[in-house]
Structure 1
């Protein structure tokens, strides 16, 4: 199942749950409210009926002990049955009681309540209403026989093909009970119609939520589907340039993911291009020493024909080319691993880094290095920074091999500059001196691979800085790099005094 379909189903499920919950609560609230109103009306009718009977009893002078008398209060004697005069009190037809006012549909009469008395022995006595009698349950008999005055029981019954809401109220002192019932068919029909409307609304809400969920999911997953297609294309064909150049849309999480994915692909494109350039340049540079070694190997087949002096020159040339080839391979490995090496960043004292690099250069070439530092401490990779400073010093020592003055290293606010007194750098060379394998015309006769300053460029770029090259006032060259100002840390010691490394 697609992510879009899952979003649609989730929205539909949430909408259905919310609609059903709200509908059920609304139905229950409406039902409780309607039947509470019906019960209040039944209680009001019971109270009115009781008061009317008491008022008749006060106004009638007849002997209340005669159950045949029309003024006899129902429910006040034992078994209800035919009177001594042969009359049946239960057969009396009192005037219709109209104390219950229920609404009725237009064109229909309001349903009349059913009034009935229950003797203390459970015998029903019809008072008024459309039914001959109401069923007397065990609970109603118990209320009539021994219930306290005002104690009641409410239930629903089916009688005469209709549903009734029945209220049984005890008169107390074993005087029986009164029963009041009213039809609730119309109420049930109204509630059933409400239930159908709630179900229809719930279904409509569910469908609308599903459609909205699918629409929103389409907008969200469109970019995710695009990312998935690009990822599949990268994994199968390796084509990433087109997407990497497209701007990401949106500022939400998916937009941020798209932007990050685009930047990642851009870096992959740049890394691939750099890798291809490195392989191409390395193949070109390796071809020269390998060609020379192959030619010397061919000559070695006739070594016996060579003079001792020619043999010595041949062997020196082989050793020199072999050294250059080994140095070139080391530089290539260092350059290839410079970006992939996981070196932990930490506070680095640039003056101490320069001194360690100066001592190493002194051991190799015998040249003194003068370090003039301001105590800059940066957050960076110590080995990479030391390698960059070392490459600058070795480059200066190579071009100023015959100089008597020390090489100068100046450190100011995270900027490292190495000054030498060599032949200097022309304006054309300053633009390409940090390119891989580039060697100026004045340096082609000197040893080296043309990768030292390229490594300096990569280290500076990894620390958010830049590189620079130019002429030194008074002759020579000034070559260096900077570290991003955001990486500068508060100096942990006063500015260092200029000192010569030995």
Structure 2
């Protein structure tokens, strides 16, 4: 039944604004409360009036009995005298009654005269007027009956009913108006948020909203502003990435196009054929540029994601990762020696990403090492250090070397895209670690990468 009522009401309320729904709910709640209070007041007052009248009539009836009111006494009073007192009096005797005003006698009063009841109370109409009828025993086989009009009490109840109706209607009207005003003012920040959201969707402008107050709506506005700031920062990073990527891609693409146009022109014009040595040199240059372009595109794809690609993490020995990375880099840098001393360190992570990060560190050190130089690699308690014998990094460049596309003035003359060390920091952050670089006074560059883990492989899965 409740589901059916909700099904009927839901389509109607769905078309109403939130402020109007709050006002309607407030009005209904106040209306229900006023109805319950009015009913309780009316019932209480009616019971109090009847109780007071019953107590008064019983007291008067018993007093009359104690004073010795008899049939003869009643017969001695003219009916007009009793009518002036707004009271009808009768005596019931042995089931019969003596009544100068012909009262309305029923079984209750007869039962009192017979001694079955001590007294009786009831309401009945006499000539269309409501009366409260009381009967008490006035002797053996007799009962004294008093009937008093309740017209004044009913008149009071009717006035009370009008007052309750008026106050209830006025209260409901005030509640509805107050609910509308409160809902309208209270939902103003929500409307501001709605307008701001629509403005962002329409204009793509991420301007923060002014925060007013310290309540929950103010916190909601603050959170929305934080979201706008984060979204704006994300857009700025994307625009910067596109601009930097365009700048970095322009050089290898231009070189590739020049070399390919040169080879194409030589193949079309036999008179301008290239010597075999020049042709081999150009083809080698093209292959190198393609390799550099492939690496650059792969790095861009990895760094362009706000969330890295989800892989399945697994327990892995960081020492094995370092060994594999050293073997790969040794093939690319045959003129550099690698002094490796690593101890087992189990981590729970992504082997390919970790190996790529370590490989980038080793590639960077090998690139800056002099011919015949040595790269020292140490792994102790999750701390990997890579030291080279190169010229070191200037103090002005140290804070920026892990930024995307950042290349020092010396590095711009060498192959590279400025993304390798960014991937290193991305990988360490993803595994809850850190990486830093410094230039010791003895020379060269020292990279320190920390990855949390354990020495025992049996505990790797609890990381």
Same fold (TM over 0.5): yes
Deviations 1:309-336 (A, max 9, x none): 1110111111111111111110011111
* Distance verdict in 2 for CA 1:458–1:229, change over 3 Å: farther
Query: 1:167 and 1:477 mapped to 2: Cα distance?
Result: 114
Q: Which residue in 1 is equivalent to 2:94?
A: 120
Quote the Cα distance in structure 1 between the aligned partners of 2:25 and 2:252: 68
- The equivalent position to 1:423 in structure 2, one of 391, 405, 408, is 391
Q: Is the 8 A contact 1:419 1:478 kept in 2?
A: yes
Distance 2:226 2:341 in 1: 40
1:408–1:418 CA contact under 8 A, matched in 2: yes
Partner of 1:325: 293
The residue aligned with 1:359 is: 324
For residue 172 of structure 2, give the secondary structure of its aligned residue in structure 1: helix
1:417/1:267 CA distance change after superposition, 3 Å: farther
Indicate conservation of the 8 Å contact 1:392/1:480, yes or no. no
Inter-CA distance 90–193: structure 2 relative to 1 (3 Å threshold): closer
Q: Deviations over 1:159-178 (max 9, x none)?
A: 4x6432222346686x2432
1:189 aligned onto 2:155? yes
* Counterpart secondary structure, 1:148: coil
- Structure 1: which 5+ runs fail to align? 57-72, 75-87, 99-108, 127-131, 495-502
Match of residue 229, structure 1, among 195, 215, 219: 195
**Matched residues in 1 for 2:310 and 2:139: separation?**
95
Shift in alpha-carbon separation, 1:376–1:364, aligned structure 2, 3 A: closer
Partner residue in 1 for 2:36 = 21
2:321–2:354 CA contact under 8 A, matched in 1: no
Larger Rg: 1
What is the aligned counterpart of 2:248 among 259, 271, 285? 285
Structure 2 equivalent of residue 393 of structure 1: 362
Q: TM-score, normalised on structure 2?
A: 0.79
The structure-2 alpha-carbon separation of the partners of 1:141 and 1:39, relative to structure 1 and needing over 3 Å to count, comes to: closer
Contact 1:410–1:418 (Cα < 8 Å) also in 2:
no
2:201 and 2:49 map into 1 onto residues whose CA distance is 67
Equivalent runs, 1:271-310 vs 2, <5 Å: 271-301=234-264, 302-303=266-267, 304=270, 305-310=273-278
- Which shows bigger deviation, 326-335 or 443-452? 443-452
SS at match of 2:187: helix
Change (3 A) 1:479 1:247: farther
Q: Does residue 258 of structure 1 match 2:224? A: no
Q: CA RMSD in A?
A: 3.8
For residue 244 of structure 2, give the secondary structure of its aligned residue in structure 1: helix
Report the alpha carbon displacement of residue 445 of structure 1 after superposing the two structures with TM: 4.0
Q: 1:45 — aligned with what? A: 60
Q: CA deviation at 1:7?
A: 1.3
Residue 177 (structure 2) aligns with: 211
**Contact in 2 for aligned 1:147/1:170 (Cα 8 Å):** yes
Quote how far apart the aligned CAs of 1:285 are: 1.3
Deviation for aligned residue 1:421: 2.0
Counterpart contact for 2:95–2:114, Cα < 8 Å: no
2:144 to 178, 190, 196: 178
1:399 deviates by: 2.2
Q: Give 1:405's aligned residue.
A: 374
Pick closer, same or farther for the CA change 1:144–1:474 going to 2, 3 Å. Answer: closer
TM-score (norm 1): 0.74
1:334 matched residue in structure 2: 302
Aligned to 1:10: 25
Offset of residue 154 of structure 1 = 1.3
The 3 A distance-change label for structure 1 pair 97 and 122 is: same
| Structure 2 counterpart of 1:166 | 133
SS at match of 2:374: coil
The structure where helix makes up a greater share of residues is 2
Could you tell me how far apart the structure 2 residues matched to 1:125 and 1:250 are?
80
Over 3 Å counting, the alpha-carbon distance change for 1:415 and 1:23 in structure 2 is farther
Q: 2:218 and 2:118 mapped to 1: Cα distance?
A: 71
Is the contact between residue 143 and residue 169 of structure 1 (CA under 8 Å) also seen in structure 2?
A: no
The 3-state SS of whatever aligns with 2:410 is helix
Cα gap change, 1:383/1:97 in structure 2, threshold over 3 Å: closer, same or farther? farther
Q: Which residue of 2 aligns with 1:104?
A: none
How far apart in 2 are the matches of 1:189 and 1:272? 77
